[in-house]
Amino acid sequence: MTSERVTVSLPPELLADAREAVEAGQAASLSAFVANALHTQLSRTQGLSELRRVLGGRPEQRALDAVRRDLGLPAGPASA
């Protein structure tokens, strides 16, 4: 896969956390870490868009909360 150089601004603490993750071996480089984070977010967004299409709207918050709970994920922003 080819890459394109871009410039982004990040909060210092977020950048520090990402660098720590790279140092801990969670990614080969900061670029790889950011690319993976973008891929994850885009996959989530596309999945939610597909759910909305199939269900004819946004899933109810209680259904989303139940899935998060079943997967061991933290509660979503709307229920926090």
Global confidence as pTM? 0.69
> Quick one: CA dihedral 56, 61, 63, 69, positive or negative?
positive
Show the tokens assigned to 6: 């871009």
Check whether 80 has a pLDDT greater than 70: no
Residue keyed to tokens 């394109």: 4
For residue range 42-77, what is the model confidence (pLDDT) as tens digits? 998 998 899 889 989 988 888 889 988 999 988 776
For residue range 11-40, what is the model confidence (pLDDT) as tens digits? 999 999 999 999 999 999 999 999 999 999
